[in-house]
Chains A and B, each alone.
Chain A
């Protein structure tokens, strides 16, 4: 795992309680992290909507939602783009999961997770898998230009499932 320091803040590491937040998912709806308690949550911070490549990270995740669902996991994308921008981006790419707007105050949630890029004013490419109790199980920050893909997320969800299975059995 790569952990990096963003300014004076560090990326939140496994074992840390995931800071709760409420952000707009559409111009007239909001989503809170705490709504998903009881299920794993995948938080995918990314720099911006409208990445100009077919290898767009969100488009990739959109194609494998059924695999996240096998783990009952909820996928959430977060960037500093506004809700109207997300709306247009999600419609264009037929995304079937929520994109949250870390827009006002800008980047506040990314800062809370230690993944705000002060220089560019965007979120870093950072992934968090949060367990059903709201504790961070896995985190990863990708070099900004490199789409991290989904393998790390799926491995973390598998690992979480095994761990939880063991916990329940004993």
Chain B
């Protein structure tokens, strides 16, 4: 039961990479968390190196009291996902962590060529709030204890979050 909470679900989650990827990496993250921002660049490099061997999924874990913009940022990514560009927004948000107010979100939507009026309307109405809460709750029950939290093939990774250590943890299982 725990495992299902910590393995990517291609039917539900935002995933990138091969659905048949041998290595399954799941992140619980918060767009306003500086440690998630650091991890973002590392994950990009890991994706580049592992290519089709990797299936990467992202779930929301906004710590809204500490990070006041994190909820709307998460909703913007989900709203972009409803317009088929979750990962575009995901990337822009992590690349602009210091600029996450609603005006910024609208500008990013425009930059991605999305319907920004619809996106802001959905963010304001918290259309994806329940989904974000579902992500969050699954994380709490799956053992997330802060952000970012990584699960490699269903097991929480508690090691150092740099490229070398993460690659080490990811690659032996691809053999």
Residues of A within 8 A of B (CB): 53-57, 59-60, 62-64, 67, 93-96, 146-151, 154
| Contact mask for chain B residues 140-151; partner A; CB cutoff 8 A; 1 contact, 0 none | 111111110100
Instruction: Give the Cβ gap from A70 to chain B, nearest Cβ, in Å.
Output: 11
Among the listed stretches B30-38, B108-116, B117-125, which one makes contact with chain A, having 4 or more residues with CB under 8 Å of it? Answer: B30-38
* A93 / chain B contacts, CB cutoff of 8 Å: 65-66
| Interface set, chain B 24-59, CB cutoff 8 A to A | 30, 33-36
Tally of contact residues, B, Cβ under 8 A: 22
- The 24 sampled A-B contact pairs (Cβ below 8 Å) are A53-B35, A54-B33, A54-B66, A54-B67, A54-B146, A55-B145, A55-B149, A56-B146, A59-B65, A59-B66, A60-B63, A60-B140, A63-B65, A63-B136, A94-B65, A95-B65, A96-B65, A146-B145, A147-B145, A149-B143, A149-B144, A149-B145, A150-B140, A154-B140
Instruction: Give the Cβ gap from A75 to chain B, nearest Cβ, in Å.
Output: 14
Of B34, B66, B67, B140, which one neighbours A64 at CB under 8 angstroms?
A: B140
B173 on interface, CB distance cutoff 8 Å:
no
- Using A93-B66, A151-B141 as known contacts, say yes or no to A55 and B147 having CB atoms under 8 A apart: yes
Instruction: List the 3 shortest-distance A-B pairs measured between CB atoms, nearest first.
Output: A55-B146, A149-B145, A147-B145
Of A53, A56, A62, A151, which one neighbours B140 at CB under 8 angstroms?
A: A151
| Contact mask for chain B residues 63-93; partner A; CB cutoff 8 A; 1 contact, 0 none | 1111100000000000000000000000000
B158 on interface, CB distance cutoff 8 Å:
yes
B63–A59 touching, CB < 8 Å: yes
A63–B64 touching, CB < 8 Å: yes
B65–A147 touching, CB < 8 Å: no
Residues of B within 8 A of A (CB): 30, 33-36, 63-67, 136-137, 140-147, 149, 158
Cα A57 to Cα B66 with chains together (Å): 12
* B146 / chain A contacts, CB cutoff of 8 Å: 53-57, 60, 147
B65–A154 touching, CB < 8 Å: no
Cα A146 to Cα B141 with chains together (Å): 16
* A56 / chain B contacts, CB cutoff of 8 Å: 66, 146
Assuming A53-B35, A151-B143, what are 12 further A-B pairs, CB within 8 angstroms? A54-B63, A55-B146, A55-B149, A60-B63, A60-B146, A63-B63, A63-B136, A146-B158, A147-B145, A151-B140, A151-B141, A154-B141
Instruction: Give the Cβ gap from B155 to chain A, nearest Cβ, in Å.
Output: 14
Instruction: Give the Cβ gap from B161 to chain A, nearest Cβ, in Å.
Output: 11
Cα A55 to Cα B39 with chains together (Å): 14
Instruction: Give the Cβ gap from A58 to chain B, nearest Cβ, in Å.
Output: 10
Chain B's closest residue to A152 (CB) is B143
* B65 / chain A contacts, CB cutoff of 8 Å: 59, 62-63, 93-96
* A150 / chain B contacts, CB cutoff of 8 Å: 140, 145
Chain A's closest residue to B67 (CB) is A54
* B64 / chain A contacts, CB cutoff of 8 Å: 63
* A149 / chain B contacts, CB cutoff of 8 Å: 140, 143-145
